[in-house]
Structures are given as C-alpha cells and as structure tokens.
C-alpha cells in the first residue's frame, strides 16, 4: 500500500517535472518568438506599422502570396482527393510507389525542389531553349512560384485523407452503388460528407504552408520587388535592408495567418471529433 | 479627299505599332541584397532626370538578392537589363557565359564601378579597446566578428584586406604573414554565414569588440541601431571594393533596351547619382561630390586585388580554393 502510494507520488512528481519542462520549452521556443514579432512590429507605434503595410511593395507581396495560395490550394485539393481516392479504394500495381512519390516533398528540402525546377525550366535547363523559343516564361514569374509552391504542398491534403478513407472502408459507397447511385453522386453524397473535416483540415494546412513557403520560391522567384517577391521573400529583403521594424510588421501578417490557421485547426479537430 | 482621310486614319492606327517595337518602358535592375534603400533613391532621381530631359517615363524594377544568386538567376533566364553588383566576380561569371560583353569593365568609366567602398572596423562607443589599425586586431584581448570567407563575399574582402596589410608589413616573409593571418582568424568569436547575420551577432548579441564590414554598411548599421552606440575606425590601409555595373547584353538586345540601360547606368556617374551614392555611405568618383562629403570619408590608402593578389581568379585559387591558404589557416 505504502509502496504503491510512493509510486503514485513519484509518478506525479515526474509528471509535474515533465509538464513543467514541456511548458518552459514551448514558452522559449514557440511563444516568445511569436510574441516578439508582434512587439517589434508595433515598436514604432501603430503609424509605423501601418506605413509598412501600406507600402506598395508590401501590399504587392501580400497580394502575390494570396494569389499563389488561391491557385495552389484548389489544385492540390483536387489532386489530393483524386490521389487519396485512388490509393485508399483501389489495389493496383505501383500503388505503394505512388504513395511514396506523393510524400517526397515531405522529406526533400524545399530548396532542392527550387533548384530542380530551375534545372528543368531554367534558361540552361532541360526545357529552357524550347520555352525561350516560344516566349514562355515560367521561371522568375508567377508560374514558377506556383509550381514550386505546388510541389512543396502536394502531400498535405492526401496525407490527411488516406488514413481516414482506409479506416472508413468502402462499405457505404458499395451500398450506394447497389442502390443505383452513379459515381459522382456517390462521391458527393457519401464520400465527401465522410471526409469533409479531414479534407478541410488538409486544406488549412496546405494554405498555411503555401503562404509561408520560402526556400523553393526563393530560387525561382527572381526577387523582383513589387512583382515576384512573395511575403516571406519581402520580409527577408526588409530584414537585410536594416529595416527591422518593417520586417517585423510584414512578419506579423504571416504570424497572424499562422495563428488563424491554429484556430481553424482546433475548430476543425473539435468538429471532426464530434462528428466521429 | 475621303480616300486620303481614310489612308490617314489607317496610318494613324498603324503608327503605334512601330512605336511598340521601339524602346521599352520598363527596366529591370538586378542588384545585391542590401542595396534596396540606395536604389529607391536613385530610381526616383532618375525618373526626375528623364522628365527634365524630356524623355518618356520609365519604370525601373528592382530585384535584390546575393549577387552570386542574381548572376545565376540571369543565366537561368531572369530578364535583367542591367546588373549593379558588389562583386566583380559575379559580373565576370555573366561575361563567361556570354550574357555580358567580355570587355565590360571598359564600357563605363573607372572600370565600370561608379562608386566603391572598403572593409573598415566598427567598434563600440568610445572605442574601449583602442582599436586603430590591423595590428590591434591580432591582440590577445580583442575578439572579432565577420562572416565566414568561405560563404560571404563581404568577408572575402575583409580577409584579403588583412592579408594585403600583412604582406606589406612583413615584406616577403610568408611565415610571418601566415602567423599574422592565423592569429587574425583565431580572434574571430563567431563565423556567421553572411554579412547581415554577423551584424546581428555584433549589434544585438553584443559579441566581440570589432565588426569588420564595408564602410557603406556601417552607415546603415548606425542609422538602424543608433549612431551613438558605435564608432567607425578606418585603418591605414584597406582593400578597394568595387561596385561594378554592366548592361546585360543578351537581355538588352532581346528587349531592345540597350540605349535605356546605358542611360540608366550612366546616370550613376552624374553629380546627382554620385551624391545619392555618397549619402548612402559609398565613396564616389566625381571629385566635386567627393569633396562635399570629404568629412565623412577619412583618408585611407587603398590597394586592389589585382595588384596584391594578381586578380580574383588567382586569389580564389591561392587563398580560398580547397587546399588554399584559408583552409590551412582554419585547420590550425
């Protein structure tokens, strides 16, 4: 009895110490840096903050990041649903290989992706002479930025959907099929409602990742101020330029997007759990 | 009558077409990573100058990144009409690939370098360690901050400036030069990868007694972090750091922007262009403008990479290449 009591007390002490350590670590590693972003951003008052955000280059950077997300997220969502459907519902040769391929961006550094795109679409690259002859601009313009962002965020939606779809199985869809529902009707009325929370969750993550992407985009953007600088690249530019406050003001926009992502994630997880 | 007016209308309708094929109305300037503020001012003044001369307005776009990365991007298709770099080797890289004329240094005055700078010392207010010249930097009680010469162009100038000083001081005694440089590198408290990171280490983490960087950059640091916190010390001798400019011929020919590109770079040599460069901490060529700003720029004897090290290619081989002097010194 007393030995068990001691063990419980010891367990409690260990749990307390562990919890304290985790809290301290998150405070130092996560909370403090994000807090500093906002403190520094408003360091010169609201007017300095507003002046940075009102600057045409900052607005152009925010606009470009949003346009990129608007192009990349829907494509990767459709791709994610199609790929997850294929992988979770069917058995075919090369299925494992497809799954592994889709997950490559998780394990490859974004800068490698950027350089790889340069080697394919750049002036000295594989398709370079063809693209130049036809006046097609991919690198150092919006298409390059979108392609690089697409590569980096390709697995996010698939990754959320496959485990769920495999766990749910295809029973409900088969029932719908025997009742005479067509393919699209099955998808819209059975599959989609079943996966919607995981799907939204994947979309939110994908969106956050697109907005924050730095490495791959940095290689293919060309860094033209007001034109091909996304928000993360613009922040770097301001920072290098000894405009610390401006860099933090622009960074606070990204941090805010990150915080909104967290809230959205939390709400989706709650809704997902409630719906089962 | 009607026919002729029809013909006139047709002519008017067609007239804008040849005009389109003429001079473009935009120009892309690919520059290095910390020149944003400088070119914001230059481009505004250039627009005013064109208006004054009755020339059509032109939008000058700016691309900023490390100049090696910029050279790479241009080779891969970034359509920059002009480059304004801080490393001659990066313009040379473009020349080697046929993007820039082989004789680019003779296309504009002063070796196509409208202004220049040099590695100097930034010390803490009051100069508590009494730093005056390169000799003070090898003292046991002095800690230095500058980026790694392996990764930073800025630091390559710093290293070569120290090496040039040692070569002069010890004549031909290679052993003593190496001992000097060994102590110099041994005094470095933190080797950051780039100039901006080194500044953060020195200014915000308050590590080290001396930050060695371009004179032009010390002005930006004073402006951002407080002029009363630091002092600039200009040594007796330092290394000339050019800011080379060139028209990217391949792009200018394709876009038909050669005249515009040349006019833009020539503007950097005008009194107005030189004044803006000087206000941003660069030393300039125009004698009158240089005189106006003389108080800001103490006298210093400058040596060049060409005369001391036989050019960048040779310096790269003997100093920075694998197995070069820097490798051997860092291994000690």
What pLDDT score does A161 carry? 94
Determine whether the interchain pair B220/A242 forms a contact, defined as Cβ–Cβ distance below 8 Å. Answer: yes
Q: In this model, does residue A13 exceed pLDDT 90? A: no
**Which of B63, B76, B223 is nearest residue A123 as measured by Cβ atoms?**
B76
Using a CB-CB distance cutoff of 8 angstroms, which residues of chain B are in contact with residue A223? 63-65, 70, 73
Mean pLDDT of all residues in A199-204: 92
Q: Are residues B308 and B172 in the same domain?
A: yes
Contact B216, B281 (CB under 8 A): yes
Q: Is B50 on the interface with A (CB under 8 A)?
A: no
Q: Nearest-CA distance from A255 to chain B in Å?
A: 22
Q: Are residues B106 and B222 in the same domain?
A: no
Mean pLDDT of all residues in A198-227: 93
Contact A153, B104 (CB under 8 A): no
Per run of 10 residues, the mean pLDDT along chain B (length 332 residues) is 47 42 86 87 96 95 88 93 92 95 95 96 95 96 92 88 95 91 94 85 92 91 86 95 95 95 97 96 95 94 94 89 87 76
Q: Is A133 on the interface with B (CB under 8 A)?
A: no
Q: In this model, does residue A103 exceed pLDDT 60? A: yes
Residue B208 in domain = yes
> Which candidate, A71, A241, A84, places its Cα nearest to that of A148?
A71
The long-range contacts involving B9-15, CB below 8 angstroms and separated by at least 24 positions, are none
Q: Cα separation of B69 and B87, whole Å?
A: 12
Residue B18 in domain = no
Maximum CA extent, chain A:
85
Q: Nearest-CA distance from B29 to chain A in Å?
A: 9
Q: Cα separation of B247 and B252, whole Å?
A: 7
With a pLDDT cut of 70, the percent of chain A lying above it is 98
What does the buried/exposed string (b/e) look like for A63-95 if buried means 16 or more CB atoms within 10 Å of the residue's CB?
ebbeebbebbbeebbebbbebbbebbeeeeeee
What pLDDT score does A203 carry? 94
Residue B2 in domain = no
Mean pLDDT of all residues in A151-159: 94
Query: Which of 2.60.120.10, 1.10.3720.10, 3.40.470.10, 3.90.1300.10 would CATH assign to domain A45-275?
Result: 1.10.3720.10
Quick one: how far is CA B90 from the chain centroid? 11
What pLDDT score does B14 carry? 43
Q: Are residues B259 and B246 in the same domain?
A: yes
Pairing of strands B237-239, B230-233: unpaired
Quick one: how far is CA A40 from the chain centroid? 26
Mean pLDDT of all residues in A58-73: 96
Q: Is B41 on the interface with A (CB under 8 A)?
A: no
Determine whether the interchain pair B65/A223 forms a contact, defined as Cβ–Cβ distance below 8 Å. Answer: yes
Residue B47 in domain = yes
Q: Locate the domains of chain A by residue range.
A: 1-41, 45-275
What pLDDT score does A40 carry? 85
Angle at B270 between CA B268 and CA B274, to 5 degrees: 65
Q: Residue A244: closest CA among chain B residues belongs to which residue?
A: B224
Contact B86, B243 (CB under 8 A): yes
Pairing of strands B245-247, B82-84: antiparallel
Q: Is A168 on the interface with B (CB under 8 A)?
A: no
Determine whether the interchain pair B61/A123 forms a contact, defined as Cβ–Cβ distance below 8 Å. Answer: no
Q: Are residues B138 and B218 in the same domain?
A: yes
For the stretch A176-196, pLDDT in tens is: 989 988 888 898 888 899 999
CA distances from A69 to A75, A207, A268, B207, B224 (A): 10, 6, 20, 41, 34
Q: Nearest-CA distance from A151 to chain B in Å?
A: 20
Q: Is A241 helix (H, G, I), strand (E, B) or coil?
A: coil
Mean pLDDT over all residues of chain A?
89
Q: Cα separation of B144 and B135, whole Å?
A: 13
Q: Are residues B319 and B170 in the same domain?
A: yes
* Phi and psi, residue B237, nearest 5°: -140, 145
Q: Are residues B146 and B180 in the same domain?
A: yes
Between A162 and A245, the higher pLDDT residue = A162
Using a CB-CB distance cutoff of 8 angstroms, which residues of chain A are in contact with residue B250? none
What pLDDT score does B8 carry? 47
Residue B16 in domain = no
Q: pLDDT category, A42, cuts 50, 70, 90?
A: confident
What pLDDT score does A275 carry? 62
Q: Cα separation of A13 and B67, whole Å?
A: 56
Determine whether the interchain pair B76/A244 forms a contact, defined as Cβ–Cβ distance below 8 Å. Answer: no
CA distances from B170 to A239, B133, B177 (A): 41, 15, 6
Q: Is B222 on the interface with A (CB under 8 A)?
A: no
Q: Residue A223: closest CA among chain B residues belongs to which residue?
A: B63
| Three-class SS of A135-199 | CCCCCCCHHHHHHHHHHHHCHHHHHHHHHHHHHHCCHHHHHHHHCCCCHHHHHHHHHHHHHHHHH
Residue B124 in domain = yes
Contact B245, B268 (CB under 8 A): yes
Looking at residue B99, the DSSP 8-state letter turns out to be S
What pLDDT score does B3 carry? 47
Q: Are residues B34 and B177 in the same domain?
A: no
The label of the residue with tokens 């199985």 reads A169
Q: What's B309's domain CATH number? A: 3.40.190.10
Burial of B62 per CB tally in 10 Å (0-12, 13-18, 19+): buried
Using a CB-CB distance cutoff of 8 angstroms, which residues of chain A are in contact with residue B77? 122-123, 128, 132, 137, 139-140
- Residue B100 is part of which domain span? 24-116+242-296
Q: What is the reported pTM?
A: 0.81
Mean pLDDT of all residues in A66-93: 94
For the stretch B223-252, pLDDT in tens is: 888 889 999 999 999 999 999 999 999 999
Q: Are residues B231 and B254 in the same domain?
A: no
Contact A199, A275 (CB under 8 A): no
What pLDDT score does B38 carry? 92
Number of domains in chain B: 2
**CB contact residues (below 8 A), chain A span 97-126, against chain B:** 118, 122-125
Contact B248, B80 (CB under 8 A): yes
Q: Are residues B186 and B316 in the same domain?
A: yes
Residue B10 in domain = no
Determine whether the interchain pair B224/A244 forms a contact, defined as Cβ–Cβ distance below 8 Å. Answer: yes
Angle at B100 between CA B94 and CA B106, to 5 degrees: 115
Mean pLDDT of all residues in A60-80: 96
Q: pLDDT category, A2, cuts 50, 70, 90?
A: low
Q: Tell me how crowded residue A220 is: count the other CB atoms within 10 A of its CB.
A: 28
The per-residue DSSP string of B22-48 comes to: S--SEEEEEE-TT-HHHHHHHHHHHHH
For the stretch A115-133, pLDDT in tens is: 999 999 998 888 988 888 8
Q: Are residues B315 and B230 in the same domain?
A: yes
Residue B7 in domain = no
Contacts of B121 (CB under 8 A, 6+ apart): B131, B137, B210, B211, B212, B232, B233, B234, B235
Which of B38, B41, B63 should one mutate to test binding to chain A, selecting the residue with the greatest count of A CBs within 10 A? B63
Using a CB-CB distance cutoff of 8 angstroms, which residues of chain A are in contact with residue B223? 242
Q: Is B37 on the interface with A (CB under 8 A)?
A: yes
Q: Are residues B283 and B182 in the same domain?
A: no
């Amino acid at each position: 009895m007393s030995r068990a009591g001691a063990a419980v007390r010891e367990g409690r002490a260990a749990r307390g110490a562990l919890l304290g350590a985790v809290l301290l670590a998150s405070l130092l590693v996560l909370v403090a840096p994000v807090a500093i972003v906002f403190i520094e951003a408003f360091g010169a008052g609201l007017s300095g903050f507003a002046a940075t955000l009102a600057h045409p280059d900052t607005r152009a950077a925010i606009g470009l990041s949003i346009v990129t997300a608007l192009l990349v997220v829907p494509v990767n969502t459709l791709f994610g649903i199609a790929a997850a459907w294929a992988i979770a519902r069917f058995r075919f040769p090369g299925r494992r290989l497809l799954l592994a391929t889709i997950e490559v961006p998780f394990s490859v550094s974004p800068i490698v992706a950027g350089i790889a795109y340069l080697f394919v679409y750049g002036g000295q690259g594989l398709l370079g002479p063809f693209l130049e002859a036809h006046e097609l601009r991919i690198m150092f313009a919006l298409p390059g930025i979108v392609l690089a962002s697409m590569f980096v965020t390709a697995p996010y939606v698939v990754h959320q959907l496959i485990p769920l779809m495999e766990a749910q199985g295809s029973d409900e869809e088969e029932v719908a099929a025997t009742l005479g529902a067509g393919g699209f009707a099955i998808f819209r009325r059975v599959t989609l409602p079943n996966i919607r929370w995981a799907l939204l969750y994947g979309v939110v993550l994908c969106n956050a990742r697109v907005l924050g992407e730095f490495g791959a985009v940095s290689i293919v953007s060309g860094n033209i101020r007001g034109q091909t600088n996304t928000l993360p690249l613009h922040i770097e530019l301001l920072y290098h330029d000894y405009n610390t406050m401006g860099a933090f003001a622009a960074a606070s926009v990204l941090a805010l997007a990150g915080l909104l992502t967290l809230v959205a994630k939390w709400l989706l997880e709650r809704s997902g759990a409630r719906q089962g | 009558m009607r026919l002729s007016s029809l013909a006139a209308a047709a002519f008017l309708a067609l007239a804008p077409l040849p005009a389109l094929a003429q001079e473009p109305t935009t120009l892309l300037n690919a520059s290095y990573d910390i020149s944003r503020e400088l070119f914001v001012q230059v481009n505004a003044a250039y627009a005013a100058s064109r208006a004054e001369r009755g020339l059509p307005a032109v939008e000058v776009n700016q691309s900023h990144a490390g100049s090696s990365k910029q050279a790479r991007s241009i080779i891969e298709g970034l359509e920059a009409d002009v480059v304004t770099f801080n490393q001659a080797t990066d313009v040379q890289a473009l020349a080697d690939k046929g993007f820039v004329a082989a004789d680019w240094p003779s296309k504009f005055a002063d070796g196509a370098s409208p202004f220049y700078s040099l590695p100097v010392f930034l010390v803490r207010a009051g100069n508590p360690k009494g730093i005056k010249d390169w000799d003070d930097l090898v003292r046991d009680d002095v800690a230095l901050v500058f980026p790694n010469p392996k990764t930073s162009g800025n630091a390559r100038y710093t290293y070569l400036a120290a090496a040039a000083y040692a070569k002069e001081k010890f004549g031909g005694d290679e052993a003593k030069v190496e001992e000097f440089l060994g102590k110099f590198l041994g005094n470095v408290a933190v080797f950051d990868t780039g100039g901006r990171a080194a500044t953060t280490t020195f200014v915000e983490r308050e590590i080290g007694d001396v930050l060695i960087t371009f004179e032009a950059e010390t002005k930006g640091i004073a402006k951002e972090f407080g002029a009363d916190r630091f002092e600039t010390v200009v040594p007796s001798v330092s290394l000339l750091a050019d800011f080379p400019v060139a028209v990217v011929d391949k792009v200018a020919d394709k876009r038909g922007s050669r005249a515009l590109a040349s006019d833009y770079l020539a503007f950097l040599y005008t009194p107005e262009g030189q004044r803006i460069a000087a206000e941003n901490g660069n030393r300039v060529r125009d004698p009158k403008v240089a005189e106006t700003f003389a108080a800001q720029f103490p006298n210093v004897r400058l040596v060049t990479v060409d005369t001391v090290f036989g050019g960048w290619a040779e310096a790269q081989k003997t100093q920075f290449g694998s197995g070069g002097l820097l490798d051997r010194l860092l291994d000690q």
